[in-house]
Structure 1
Amino acid sequence: MSAFLKAVTSAMERIAPLRLAESFDNVGLLLETPLRSKQHRVMLTIDLTTAVIDESIENAASVIVAYHPTIFGALKSFTMANPLQASLLRCAAHGISVYCPHTALDCTWGGINDWLAEGVMGEKNDGIVRPLQNEKLSPAGNSEGALGRMVTLQSPVSMEIIVKRVKEHLKLSQIQVGYATPDGVQSNKAVETIAICAGSGGSVFSGKKADVYLTGEMQHHEVLAAVASGTNVILCGHTNTERGYLPILASKLQAQLEAAAFDGAFNILVSNTDKHPLEFI
């Protein structure tokens, strides 16, 4: 392993320990390639798309940190006919290694879900945040976080204010909102508790009572069940709940590499071409 790749993987492990990832996940260094570029550059992205590969090659990146795993299940072959496999093959050809943190970055304190929690609490940071599921403990017995977050606002606010905060935090002009309709009547109850899960939160919210579910996407029947039971639902698009965290991750990675005194100049880039695959038109 090249010295720079080793420094990046070690830094990412300190930011989001892989032991925190969910058991179904596939995280860590998913593609290691021989170093070709003399530039020490990391490209941060949510998805490893064709556009991101082109951008990474153009910028002579040697490592891509892609939040979503580029390999999930067992593979019997690598071919250019499969777009995701083609992206990995192009990375290999250009000496670009790929690291994926996914749910490790969701679970860890200071990760994506905590960033989402900051958005719903507003400027005064008026709330208490705790994990939505059982806390994961470090070898020393300290809490390292868990999947999802439950925010309890100290000063309950209207649903309209929560919607406004979410749109401003995620820089979105449109989101999907399902208003709670217990007994078929829309509820105007003030919001005190918000359950949060980046990406797809339906299964994470199962059995959790809150005034609002905030996530990227949920299945149709999960939305129906939530609003019927008195829970408002806010859906923002899967990767829209994740992408805004990348500049924060860039700062964390920069600080970790500087603290480790990596011997050489390096750059941390956030992809300009990575974007949500669906648009409102």
Structure 2
Amino acid sequence: MSIVVKSVCKALERIAPLRLAEPWDKVGMIIESPVPRTDAKRVVLTIDLTTAVLEETLKVPTALVVSYHPPLFQPITSLTLANPLQASLLKLSAAGTSVFCPHTSLDATWGGINDWLAEGITGPQKATAKVNILGEVKGEEGGAGRIVTFDDPVNIEELVQRVKKHLSLSQVDVGRPLTDKPITSVAICAGAGGTMFSGVDADVYFTGEMQHHEVLGAVARGRYVILCGHTNTERGYLPVLAKKLSDALSYLAQEESPDGLSLEERAEIKKYQLDIHISQTDRHPLDHM
């Protein structure tokens, strides 16, 4: 493993420990190139490893792609070029590029994606809004989802405007119960939150997507539902991750770092001047027409 890949993986573990990931998830090193390029100083951050992201990545020597969603999720019996996702992994490996996935560990950690979503809906009430873990509490390091409670109620129109502004969206899908009511609590889950919201007592369910009957059931029980598109609840976090990664790498290069890097490796990190690049071709896969 190259020093670039090793140090970035250690930095990502500081940001979002893999032990926080859900048991069903596929996180960590997805594929490690056996021929890492010594001249590669770029790390690419993306939500999905699409063909467009692959082509973008191959244009510049790249040590590591950090793909939020795991490119390999279901068990496989072969890796072939006939499968586009598998082909991307094979081509990256041949080019000396490895692939790492943080996924639900990045959702759960304090300061991760779900906390970023919570920040976006508090607005001017940030000082008084309370953010707590929704779902399993995983020690002191975080937990699966978030629930925000307001001392002063907010109406659905105001909340939707906060969501659209935070996610840079012109429209979202909203499920409304028959009778409008003031909102004092919002349950949050990045991506697909239907399962996590089951049995949760909150005025609003805010996520990327839910199944049709999950939405019907929530609205029938008097809940609002705000759906933004799966990856739209995740992509805006990439600049935050880029800053956290840069800070973590700077920390690893310091002598007081307890993360087990040798003096030679720390010197290499300082020398490399890594280019942390947010993919410009990664995008939500669906268009409104």
- TM bucket (normalised to shorter chain) is over 0.9
Q: Match of 2:36, as an amino acid?
A: L
* Residue in 2 that maps onto 1:263: 270
Aligned AA (2:79):
F
Contact preservation (8 Å) 1:21, 1:107: yes
Contact 2:125 2:150 (C-alpha < 8 Å) held by counterparts: no
The residue type equivalent to 1:36 in the other structure is: R
CA contact (8 A) 1:26 1:71 kept: yes
The corresponding residue for 1:132 is 134
Give the AA of the match of 1:72: F
Tell me by how many angstroms 1:229 deviates: 0.1
- Report the Cα distance in structure 2 between the residues aligned to 1:211 and 1:187, rounded to whole angstroms: 12
Aligned residues: 271
Question: How far did 1:187 drift?
Answer: 1.9
Per the alignment, in what secondary structure is the counterpart of residue 148 of structure 1?
A: strand
How many Å separate the matches in 2 of 1:257 and 1:31?
21
The answer as to whether partners of 2:37 and 2:61 remain within 8 angstroms in 1 is no
The aligned counterpart of 2:78 is 77
Native 8 Å contact 1:37 1:60 kept in 2: no
Q: Secondary structure at the match of 2:72?
A: coil
Counterpart of 2:189 in structure 1 is 197
* Distance of 1:135 and 1:162 partners within structure 2: 26
Question: Which residue of structure 1 aligns with residue 109 of structure 2?
Answer: 108
- 1:153 deviates by 1.1
Q: TM-score, normalised by structure 2?
A: 0.92
1:221 corresponds to which of 191, 209, 213: 213
Counterpart of 1:275 in structure 2 is 283
1:165-193: CA deviation from partner (whole Å, max 9, x where unpaired): 0000000001100002xxxxx22211110
Deviations along 1:197-237, one digit per CA (max 9) or x if unpaired, are 00000001011011000000000000000000010000000
SS in 2 for 1:187: coil
2:156/2:183 contact within 8 Å kept: yes
Q: Which residue of 2 aligns with 1:183?
A: none
Q: Which amino acid in 2 is paired with 1:116?
A: L
| 2:143 equivalent to 1:151 | no
Name the SS for the 1:272 alignment partner. Answer: coil
Aligned partners of 1:219, 1:229: CA distance in 2, in Å?
A: 16
Give, in whole Å, the separation in 2 of the partners of 1:73 and 1:38. Answer: 33
Partners of 1:279 and 1:131 lie apart in 2 by 32
Tell me if 1:175 matches 2:172: yes
Q: SS of 1:86's equivalent?
A: helix
- Cα gap change, 1:54/1:123 in structure 2, threshold over 3 Å: closer, same or farther? farther
In the alignment, what sits opposite 2:262? none
Q: Is the 8 A contact 1:37 1:61 kept in 2?
A: no
Q: CA deviation at 1:156?
A: 1.0
Aligned ranges for residues 232-247 of structure 1 at < 5 Å? 232-247=224-239
DSSP-derived class of the 2:136 partner = coil
Letter in 1 for 2:3: A
TM-score computed with the length of structure 1 as normaliser = 0.95
Q: 1:230 is matched by which residue type in structure 2?
A: G
How many Å apart are 1:258 and its aligned residue? Answer: 1.1
- Give, in whole Å, the separation in 2 of the partners of 1:240 and 1:173: 12
What is the DSSP-based 3-state SS (H/G/I as helix, E as strand, rest coil) of the residue aligned with 1:121? helix
Aligned counterpart, 1:140? none
Structure 1 partner of 2:200:
208
Residue type of the alignment partner of 1:136? K
What amino acid maps onto 2:111 in structure 1?
Answer: G
Corresponding residue for 1:12? 12
* Distance of 1:247 and 1:165 partners within structure 2: 19
CA distance in 1, matches of 2:283, 2:162: 21
Matched residue, 1:66: 67
Moved more, 95-104 or 56-65: 56-65
* Runs of 5+ consecutive residues of structure 2 not aligned to the other structure: 254-268
Q: Would you identify which runs of 4 or more consecutive aligned residues in structure 1 move more than 4 Å?
A: none
Q: What displacement does 1:37 show?
A: 4.9
Alpha-carbon displacement from aligned partner over 1:58-108 (angstroms, at most 9, x marks no partner)? 122210000000111221111111111011011111111000000000000
Structure 1 unaligned blocks of 5 or more: 138-142, 181-185
- Give matches, 1:84-95, under 5 Å: 84-95=85-96
> How many angstroms does 1:48 deviate by?
0.2
